[in-house]
Amino acid sequence: MKEDKVIQPHHHHHQLLLRRLTVFSGNRLARPISFLLLLVLSYTLGYFSASPPPPPPPLQTPIDHHPTTTVAAQTFPDHNRFSTRCAAMPVPSKLIRQTVINRVFNGSSPYYSFPPPHVAHLLRPKRVKGWGSTGSVFETLIRKVKPRTIIELGTFLGASAIHMAELANRLGLKTQIICVDDFRGWPGFQTRFTDIGSINGDVMLMYQFMQNVVYFNVTDSILPVPYSTGSALEALCELGVFADLIEVDAGHDFHSAWSDINRAYKLLRPGGVMFGHDYFTAADERGVRRAVKLFAQVKGLRIQTDGQHWVIDSAESH
Ligand SMILES: C[S@@+](CC[C@H](N)C(=O)[O-])C[C@H]1O[C@@H](n2cnc3c(N)ncnc32)[C@H](O)[C@@H]1O
């Protein structure tokens, strides 16, 4: 039986109705209004008895032939298209300190006349606290890379920065460490660090960090850049301040880590190394570790680990 010959019960009923109406109108109401009525009714019945539209074709599931290496690159094919362009001419290593002082501090060293009288009484001679801030990765990488410039994202009280400055000095390197931190800590951190004072809500974290740098006599090696990592890295990129070694240890949620790693990578000199902490903490499968893994996957780079630290050497691909 062909499909177009099948008469549905409701369709059959409509035809019967139409036939009766035709007879009725032809015999008794041979007037224009009856034809109009017939027309409207036939249209309505035809509309309701029409078969429903065919269902849409099922969605095709794309087959990923290279799930481990290219899935992110396939999903975001324009991942590497950023609007910001870093300066074409890198600032020479020996000019980096003065460039940062000029551009960030208007030409005057932040250590000049430090500490200011209105905060001096709130500072302790030395107050250092870090997390994995003296791990073996620091010495391994400083010996390997012999960096002229280090950028640290996330400094807090300076434990890791001071450790790197002392290592570099011991190895006879002339290393400048640029410490990017907004020096706000995180909301509520003062409930744990009750001894870090504040004035009208302005927490003394940067001052205590600088006091620590003074205490350990490494002011020549360390400069703070007291801004968010996003805006600071953007500015360093435009200025042409590149680094041989970059430590990423600021925000640990996925989006912060992802943004910092991507921005930082643009500031790595050829052959430079990027590394960071908290690769193995449980929560970081959704935070730092996820960002590092995805980044390495997109760029085809190899992740190495050293204790709790991850390391990506830009010279070493898969
Ligand atoms: C884990 S601590 C850094 C510890 C330090 N690297 C050490 O080992 O001693 C994280 C720091 O990142 C800073 N931070 C977090 N998110 C930031 C952001 N978006 N911009 C600037 N600093 C940020 C916080 O103020 C805090 O001082």
Q: What single string gives the DSSP state of each residue in 256-305? A: HHHHHHHHHHHTEEEEEEEEES-SSSGGGGTBHHHHHHHHHHHHTEEEEE
95 lies in some domain: yes
Does 40 share its domain with 148?
no
135 and 220 inside one domain: yes
Do 104 and 9 share a domain, yes or no? no
225 is a domain residue: yes
Tell me the residue range of the domain where 26 lies.
3-49
Kindly state whether residues 30 and 129 are assigned to the same domain: no
Nearest CA-CA partner of 156 in 134, 126, 186: 186
Measure 163 CA to ligand 1 centroid, in angstroms: 16
pLDDT tens sequence across 243-284: 999 999 999 999 999 999 999 999 999 999 999 998 988 766
181 or 51, higher pLDDT: 181
The residue-averaged pLDDT of 219-224 equals 98
Number of the ligand 1 atom closest to the C-alpha atom of 129: 9
Q: Is residue 56 part of a domain?
A: no
Q: Is residue 54 part of a domain?
A: no
Give the rounded distance of the alpha carbon of 21 from its chain centre: 72
- How much is the pLDDT for 25? 43
pTM value is: 0.77
**pLDDT tens for residues 153-182?**
999 999 999 999 999 999 999 999 999 999
Domain-embedded: residue 55: no
Q: In this structure, are 161 and 33 located in the same domain?
A: no
Task: Name the closest-CA residue to atom 24, ligand 1.
Answer: 185
- Give the burial class of 194: count Cβ atoms within 10 A of its Cβ; 0-12 exposed, 13-18 middle, 19 or more buried: exposed
Neighbours of 230 (CB within 10 A): 16
152, 29: one domain: no
pLDDT in tens, 90-148: 999 999 999 999 999 999 999 999 999 999 999 999 999 999 999 999 999 999 999 99
Q: Is the domain of 190 the same as that of 260?
A: yes
> Quick one: what percent of the chain has pLDDT higher than 90?
69
**Is the shortest distance between the CB of 90 and ligand 1 below 6 Å?**
no
Domain for residue 60, yes or no? no
Residues 278 and 190 in one domain: yes
Report the number of distinct structural domains present in the chain.
Answer: 2
Residue 175 placed within a domain: yes
pLDDT of 74 reads 56
Q: In the predicted model, is pLDDT for residue 52 greater than 60? A: no
Report whether 257 contacts 283 (CB < 8 A): no
82 and 122 both lie in a single domain: yes
pLDDT at residue 157, rounded to an integer: 98
Q: Ligand 1 centroid vs 184 CA: distance in angstroms? A: 8
Give me ligand 1 centre to Cα 209, in Å. 12
- Compare 60 and 234 and report the one with higher pLDDT: 234
Q: Is the CB–ligand 1 distance for residue 129 below 6 Å?
A: no
CATH of the domain at 105: 3.40.50.150
